[in-house]
Every structure is written in structure tokens, then in C-alpha cells.
Chain A
């Protein structure tokens, strides 16, 4: 029985679920400062607003698990929001078609990312930063830098932004589905295991016969598709396609995924941690606005959280690698052989 107790204790430790404790502290703090905070309406507001960020975060999990950054999700979000709005205004008011169009446009960027990273072998951080810039520019060029407004209370806006069950709108439902699907993929299937193997040790994955490039391409397409879906929802929320909407989701989504990696799974990118981190982020930002903090404070909150999260995941990649090298060199001679070389 004591081992069960130890297990429970271990899984409730600050290192495992610290974000949940911080979240509770935040809720307590905001409730004390502002009596209108501790209400169901605040809860639904956080979820409804941050479901879109959550979807982007869920998409990001896949390339990150496979060891790739996808910085283009912000630009993809802008692209798909514009595409959906354009279809609504110019082609059809069918909700489904508009969403599909947005996702399809996003997938094109996913293909572009795959080519740049996996065929041209450009580093993922730089490569997706570049495609992000190209996509943003293309959207501005095609739209003349104008937003495309549509009827907010039409089918599209109503279905995706207003209709709700117990106060929760469509994006929350989609996020829930995304969490479950991604969790299943990453944690219950061989696909997920292989993806993590690629991200941690590409060479191990390659020697294990895993189709590294194919799986990475799939992860990039998935991340683009989810960012695309998020874009169509963002358009519905404001009743317009907006080419500049991307950046405000990019950073929080990354913050959520990296902070999430410090939760539950010992440094592994995982959907549950990311979901908790989105809640934490949303609660903090909504709370700050509710207590009357200036509108720039949420950005500081997100930025600080991202730094904290990455610092918690062993000081980022470079630091970790340097540390690893140090450790392996330090102990290499304990049973020393000359290090062999692989070409």
C-alpha cells in the first residue's frame, strides 16, 4: 500500500503538476482581487477564448514531438481565416465548405514546410520562420491588406462562435476532440512512440527502420491543418478574416506546449500538459483584464510563461545537448574504448 501512496504522492508532486498548483493560486488571487472573477461565466469565457490557442497547441505537439519547430502556425492561422472569409463572401455561405477551404489552404503551407525542411533540409526553426514570412506576405498581397468582413450573425458566426452547450461554444468541443485524438495517437499507438523516438534520437529511429521523413511530413501537415482549423474559428469569433490575426496565437500556443511538456510526462511534449497550460494561460490573461490591468499585460504574462517553461525543460535544446556531451565525456572512460565513428 505504501507504494501506492508513494505513487500518488509522486504524481501530485510540484514537479509533475506544478502548473495546476499555479493555476489554483491564480484563481484564488483573482477571486480575492475581483469579486466578479469567481463565476461560471469567467470559466466559459476562458475556455471559449482559449480553445483556439489550444487547437494550435495540439497541432504543434506533433512536429515538436518529432523534433521540429513549426513557427508558421501563426501565419497559417491568418491565411485560413482569410480563406474562409473569402469563401463566405464570394462563394458560398455553407459553413462546412468555408471551414474546409480554410483547412485546405493551411495544408498547402504544410506541404511547403515539408519540402523546405525535409527535401531542402533547412533547419526547422529557420525554415518555418521563412515560410511564415512568405505566407504572411502572400496573404497581405492577395487581400490588399484588408480584412474581409462577413455577417457575424450569419450561419458561420452563429455555428462556430455563438451556439453553445452550457456556455461552451463549438471551438471548445473541437479542442476536446483534438486533445483526445492527439492523446490517443501519441500515447496509445506505435505511431506516437515512433514520433517521440524521432524527436529524441533521430539516428535511433532511422536505424530502427522508422520512415523518419515521412512521419515528420505527416506531423507538419497535421500541425498546419489544426492551425488552419483554428484560423477558421478565429474568423468566426470576430466575423472577419484578418491577415494579421496569427501572431497573437503563436506565442501563447508555444508557451502552452513547452509549459505542458514540464507537466505529467517528465519533459515529454504531451496533450494533457498542454491543455492545462492553456487553461493556466487563459485564466491568467482573462483575470488580468478583469482586474483592470492594462491590455499589454497578457503579452508579458505569456512571454514570461514561455521563458519559464523552456527554462524548466532543462534550459532548452542547446543547453541540454551541451550538458549531455559533458556527462558522456565525463564518464566515457570508465570503461573506455576509443569512440567509434559512424559516417
Chain B
């Protein structure tokens, strides 16, 4: 029983996001699938799951084509998925969650034999060698217990016929897990593979993949770069395969001298624009920050490190606590969206985040939303002419396409939408900007324009705090980089002081994980 993709391709809006990918997944093996954001690995998984149709090539199970079969048929064939968010309903017990996986739906009309179901689920969980209570709302369980339930649900046979699980696809399964929990999960994954299930393990955490997988396929820009067989992949070889030849982008501006001189100029906390001590939130466990005028600080970290939450917690839009905070030298309680305007602070969410833009609005309406008071005529009337020319100004400065203020935001491409969001906040003339994932889902040209603009506004003396998972962004704009790990800053890299390359940053980010694995490279800073 072999699962294979042959010459697989997928096109979105005329652009190939996956092209001519051929991989063979074998039963009883753990096959790693790695690649950076936008490499096409999610697309590949979605085609396997029957969620997308392939634009080219085919998926075969034992030589029989199964692509375009649809999710239900794929499940019946024994190909199962555990997605990153697990797809569990926190208020339901493990038993009830079993019902959402399609197991109960196949016997609709008949009442559920809970006892039988419980026994069967229990036997699967027992096989994992781990205690998981089945009658407690899963929201009350630990992260690893939830993962095990999701996996148990995926490999569970179900009543309605269909094949037992043959292949299990795990997408970023360790995101929410901590050290020892990861080991528990790995134990279960290895046991599943030994029982004959082919595991496809998708992750951007190279150390996890190296530890687990016997074969590893690397995707880059929608193409298969290489498949390493028989545990022959090393950290460096994977990294090189993932990043390609251009380890250091030639577009990187030379900011070294700039950063160093300013660092020396920074006398102490007194000149800081914003200082934060002990910032805590659901993912953050005490982060200290000092942000200075005219610098761009980038924050990196793997999923779950707190990187994705930092600016929202800092800006007070997600519940958080800090022991102290000062703005321009004066102590403040906390930041909140209601006070940003007076404090000249802006939070620019990534364009795929809830809270970034109103899809139903035109470009004009989104762009002016925080500066409506600048456009006031008598009787609180909006100055539509001024509004339109304001939008046109930004459209030409940031090269927003189409440059039509009345264009629907819904129809803008990710990059153009991101430009609108940035323009919206720049129009309010903030001194400090918190920016999340400025180039996620943004094409290369737009990303370059955005990053150039960010560099320019730093030059104007503004303070930028950028959280990103794109190393390229960091190389293009950062003066300093903070690496987050488990909710704390684990390392600081300063341009001009520390080695500041794509590999040194990736290394720093991955260094905290899988400490046991021997590392041959010793680049990177202090830990």
C-alpha cells in the first residue's frame, strides 16, 4: 500500500503554487515534509486531503488514482489528517469530539452506542501508553492530551465501513507542545509507524523532522528540491535545500554602520520611546522590551513561542499584564486601542488577521478609518474630496494597484491590501508602529515595496516593532532581532555586532529546540 503523488501541480489565479512534485510515501515509515512559508506544503496536504483538486498530475494509492475524490472518500480510503489546530471542540469531551471526525455521521439515524464507542476509543488511547480521560471537556486537558485525542480520532476505524487508517498526515503537530510533551507525541508517532501506518510529518521545525523521519522531502517555492532517504539529511543540508542558493539576499540594504552607531548613541533607558517589563499573556512569560526612536526591532520565534501574540499583547488588544511600562519616559498603565491615537501608536495586523481590514469597504473607506477626524468639514461632514485625494496620494506612494480609491478591498491582492493597511496607520502619523507579519501572503514585488517603505519610516525617526516568520523581512529591515522561545526572549542579535545572515537567524531561532541533537554549526549568538 503506497501513497504517491506524481507530477502534482496546483494553480491559483494563474500562478503555480505547486509544480511537478513527485513523492512516494511508504507504509510504516515516517516521511518528513519541510519547507518555508509559501513553499507549497500546505497546498500539497490539501490536495492529499481532497480539499483542493490538483491542476496537474495525480495522487495514487497503490497505483490507483485517487485525486479529486473528495474529503469523505479520501477518509474512507484510510488517509487521515490531524491539522495544526487539531479541530477539537473544547467544550466537548473526547468522546463527543470523536463524533465530529465523521465516525458517527456514517451511522446517522441510529442512536450512538456510547459504551461501544468509549471502549474502542479507550483501546486506541491505551495503545498510546498514555493516560487520557475521555469524559472530560477537552479544553481542560493538556496540550499533548488534546493532540493524542485528535490522533486517536484520526486513526480510529469508525463504524461505517471504510478502510482502517493507512496513512496519517500530521501538520505542525508540536506547535503547542513543550519539551517533554513533544517526546510523548514522538513516542506515539513512532508506535503508529511501527504498526504499519505511513506517517507524513509536516513541520518547519527541522530538528523535530530529523529526529523522527526516515525520509525527508524539501519543498521550496512550490517545487520539490530534494528527498533525503534513510536518515541522510543533516540540519545544514536541509537548511540549504529549504533556503536555496541565496542564503543572503542581495537586496539586503547595508544597515550595519547605522545600527551600531545608534546603539552607541543610546545612552540608556531614559532615551527609550517605549519600555516594557515583564509582559505576560497566554503565551508570553515575562518579556522585557526597550524600543528606541529610529530603530526597527524584529521579533522572531517558532510557532507557539509567543511571537504571534507579542504585539497584540503589548498593544493591549489581547489580555495581557506587565509589571511596568513607560512611554517617552513617563510611566503608563497599559496601552489600549482607545488611547493609541493620543499616544501616537499604531498596530498594523497582518493582512490575513481578523482586525486588519473591512472586506466590504472600498480601499478609500479602509484607508481613512483611523483618520476620519482629519477630514472633518462643518456639521461633522466628511470631506470626500480630501479623502479621495488622500487615498490617491497613498496609492501612488506605495504603488497600490489598482490605484482606484473606490476599488473593493475584498478584491485587492494580499500585497495591495497590506499596503492599504499600512497606509491607513501611517496617515495617523504614529511615532511607534507594531507590525505583525508585514509580508505574509504578499508577492515578492509588493513585499519589497513594503519593506523599503518600512525602512524609510524608520529613517524618519519612528520606532518599529515587527513580528515576522519571514527571515527575508528581518534581513531587509531589522536593526535588532529578538528571538522568542517559550514566551521569553532567549537571544538578541544586533546588526553590525552579531552575525546577521539568513542562516544565523534561522539557527538562533531553532537553537532552543532539540538541544540533544548534536549541532555541527556553531554560528549564532549566545544562549
Contact = CB atoms under 8 A, between A and B. Distances in A.
Asked whether A and B interact, the reply is yes
A335 B443 contact: yes
A135 B187 CA distance: 61
A343 B319 CA distance: 7
Interface stretch (B112-120, B193-201, B345-353): B345-353
B37 interface: yes
Given A204-B357, A206-B337, A343 B372 contact: no
Interface stretch (A72-80, A186-194, A252-260, A295-303): A186-194
Given A200-B359, A334-B15, A337-B441, A342 B37 contact: no
Interface string B355-398: 11111110001001110110110001110000000000000000
B24 to A, nearest CB: 22
Contact of A343 (B15, B318, B337): B318
Interface of B: 12-13, 15, 17, 37-43, 46, 51-52, 84-85, 172, 175, 281-282, 303, 308-309, 312-313, 317-319, 337-341, 347, 349-350, 352-361, 365, 368-370, 372-373, 375-376, 380-382, 414, 436-437, 440-443, 469-470
B38 A337 contact: yes
Contact of B282 (A184, A330, A336, A343): A343
Nearest to A343: B318
Contact of A333 (B46, B309, B370, B436): B46
B43 A336 contact: yes
Contact of B312 (A194, A208, A337, A343): A343
Given A333-B46, A337-B352, A342-B353, 7 more contacts: A201-B354, A204-B354, A204-B358, A204-B369, A333-B17, A333-B40, A336-B441
Contact of B359 (A201, A332, A335, A338): A201
Contacts of A340: 308, 350, 352-353, 436-437
Contact of B355 (A189, A201, A333): A201
A336 B37 contact: yes
Contact of A337 (B37, B85, B356, B376): B37
Interface of A: 184, 188-191, 193-194, 196-197, 200-201, 203-204, 206-209, 211, 267-268, 324, 328-343
Contacts of B319: 343
A342 B355 contact: yes
Nearest to A207: B355
Nearest to A267: B360
A190 B379 CA distance: 11
A335 B440 contact: yes
- Of listed A204, A211, A330, A332, residue having the most chain B CB within 10 A: A204
A207 B369 CA distance: 11
Contacts of A194: 369, 372
B4 to A, nearest CB: 21
13 contacts: A193-B368, A193-B369, A193-B382, A201-B354, A204-B356, A208-B369, A330-B51, A337-B469, A338-B84, A339-B85, A341-B308, A343-B281, A343-B312
A214 B251 CA distance: 48
A188 B381 contact: yes
A128 B373 CA distance: 33
A329 B373 CA distance: 36
Contacts of A193: 365, 368-369, 372, 382
B372 A333 contact: no
Contact of A336 (B42, B357, B368): B42
A331 B353 CA distance: 14
A204 B15 contact: no
